[in-house]
């Protein structure tokens, strides 16, 4: 059983990013659902979709302000809520390694797991057929109609294990 690994974060930038998760076009999905697209929403959606790292609300606000200094925190939170309602972004904790904030990412077409290293803070993403199988099994057995899957793992990455701390 082979899965795919993608790395981001602290030292992870260095790791080879094989097979990134297949992305979606948020803007198109929103308009298709009849959501009114204002300039600010477009901006925020673009930032989330193109982000190379996982953004929290504050980071998203900061990035958005570079293009529109007038944008407010409230708008960021309201847009996040909107995207969540439509199931277009996923909310992550990443093991809350730095405070209780949440991180967001455009929902990919395939669910994936986030592995967070407690030592160096690197985040790796992991997809595999096994996860899909597990989902199918849970559905079948519980009768649940799954809408969101959040699988987060905390531990020590390969590199940090070697540097034996």
Partner DNA sequence: ATATGTGCAAATCTTTTGCAAATTC
Partner DNA sequence: GAATTTGCAAAAGATTTGCACATAT
The binding site for a second copy (CB under 8 A) comprises: 1-3, 5, 91, 93, 95-96, 100, 113, 115, 117-118, 124, 126, 128, 130-131, 133-135, 137-138, 141-158, 161
Report if residue 78 touches DNA, rule: CB under 7 A: yes
DSSP for 32-45? HTT----HHHHHHH
Q: How far is CA 78 from the centre of its chain?
A: 18
Q: How far is the CB of 114 from DNA (least distance, A)?
A: 16
- Select from DNA, a second copy, none the partner in contact with residue 81, using the beta carbon and a kind-dependent cut-off of 5 to 8 Å: DNA
Residues in the chain: 165
> Considering the complex, what minimum distance in angstroms separates the CB of residue 67 from a second copy?
29
Element (H, E) at 82: helix 73-85
Residue burial 28-60, b: 16+ Cβ < 10 Å; e: rest: ebbeeeebeeeebbebbbebbbebeebbbbebb
Q: Which is nearer to a second copy, 25 or 97 (CB)?
A: 97
Residues 56-75 within binding reach of DNA (CB under 7 A): 56-58, 68, 70-75
- Given a second copy, DNA, none, residue 53, with its beta carbon under 5 to 8 Å by kind, binds none
Residue 97 lies near DNA (rule: CB under 7 A): no
Q: Sheet containing 89-92: give its strands across.
A: 55-56, 103-106, 89-92
Count of CB atoms situated within 10 Å of the CB of 87:
11
Binding site for DNA (CB under 7 A): 35-41, 56-58, 68, 70-75, 77-81, 99-102
């Amino acid at each position: 059983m082979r899965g795919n690994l993608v790395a981001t974060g602290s030292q992870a930038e260095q790791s080879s990013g094989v097979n990134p998760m297949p992305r979606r076009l948020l803007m198109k999905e929103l308009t298709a659902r009849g959501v009114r697209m204002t300039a600010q929403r477009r901006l925020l959606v673009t930032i989330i979709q193109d982000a190379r790292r996982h953004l929290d609300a504050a980071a998203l606000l900061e990035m958005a302000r570079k293009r529109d200094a007038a944008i407010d925190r409230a708008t960021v939170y309201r847009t996040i809520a909107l995207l969540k309602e439509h199931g277009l972004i996923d909310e992550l904790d990443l093991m809350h390694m730095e405070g209780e904030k949440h991180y967001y990412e455009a929902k990919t077409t395939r669910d994936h797991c986030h592995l967070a290293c407690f030592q160096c803070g690197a985040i790796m993403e992991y997809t595999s057929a096994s996860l899909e199988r597990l989902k199918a099994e849970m559905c079948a057995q519980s009768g649940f109609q799954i809408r969101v899957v959040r699988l987060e793992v905390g531990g020590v990455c390969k590199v940090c294990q070697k540097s034996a701390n």
